[in-house]
Structure 1
């Protein structure tokens, strides 16, 4: 078994799990909103928890998607300048490490701020469903942690930047 196969198997499993979680969030949101709309317009009453549940699931869905997009190379990238360094391996390696360090810095800042909001939210609860409001910033913390760990492993393994789209001008 090659190293590439060992790396691809967890990525594939991670993608399947994240896609499943995204589908569950989207499905529950769609059903909750649909039922609420039908009840409001058809019977003059709605389910108050529908809006809160949809908001919570939407926040989780956004950050699960952001986490899943990182290893797939689907985040926005400005690769036109870095693409010019393809023929200079040392400079390309230095730029790759610099970019990944910037990703780590961004993840640290987002994670720190999100964690502070989680701590603040532990003492308060949502109005209708009564869940701790710490559940709203928690996915941002988990996303920043996951992407930070992936970037750290890419630095350690010296994973090259993905310039698969031909380093088009963006």
Structure 2
């Protein structure tokens, strides 16, 4: 993620300086920035999932803390919902990857399959992690309320 952000920042900065300082720019900078931003977002989403740093509605689950059986059931339902959503995203991303294989980006000439590919990889990874948590019956992390001010 850091490498994507660094390259993206340098490419955009150079392009802005060239455009406003010298009246010209690097056309490839915009395509490269867009591609790197998409990859950075999905790498971040994949890295955040096992740490429990995605959206958490702990205020809805806190009353269930004293009911461990119900909390386990809710945790299982949440993980099943995550798997279903990830499978749907993966299916749509796979269709976009297939479409993108037949076309090239305008300036840099990379395959347009590289844009939806991180969504496919991320959703497969998140589905696998959620499935593993479901099999292990790992309890939900409800300690997020300490992060809220």
TM-score (norm 2): 0.94
**C-alpha distance in structure 1 between counterparts of 2:70 and 2:120, whole Å:** 32
The 5 A counterparts of 1:3-152 are 22-152=1-131
Q: Give yes or no for contact 1:80–1:168 (8 Å, CA) kept in 2.
A: no
- CA–CA distance in 2 between the matches of 1:28 and 1:52? 12
After TM superposition, what 4+ stretches of structure 1 lie above 3 angstroms from structure 2?
166-169
User: Deviation at 1:39?
Assistant: 1.3
1:59-116 per-residue CA deviation (whole Å, 9 max, x = no partner) reads: 1111111111111111111122222111122111111101100000000100000000
Q: Which runs of 5+ in 2 are unaligned?
A: none
Cα deviation code 1:8-58 (max 9, x no counterpart): xxxxxxxxxxxxxx1100000011011111111222211110000000000
Structure 1: stretches of 5+ with no match in the other structure: 1-21
In structure 1, what is the Cα distance between the partners aligned to 2:108 and 2:140? 44
SS in structure 2 at match of 1:85: helix
SS in 1 for 2:10: helix
Work out the number of aligned pairs and report it: 148
> What's 1:9 paired with?
none
- Higher percent of residues as helix: 2
Please, what is the CA RMSD of the aligned residues? 1.5
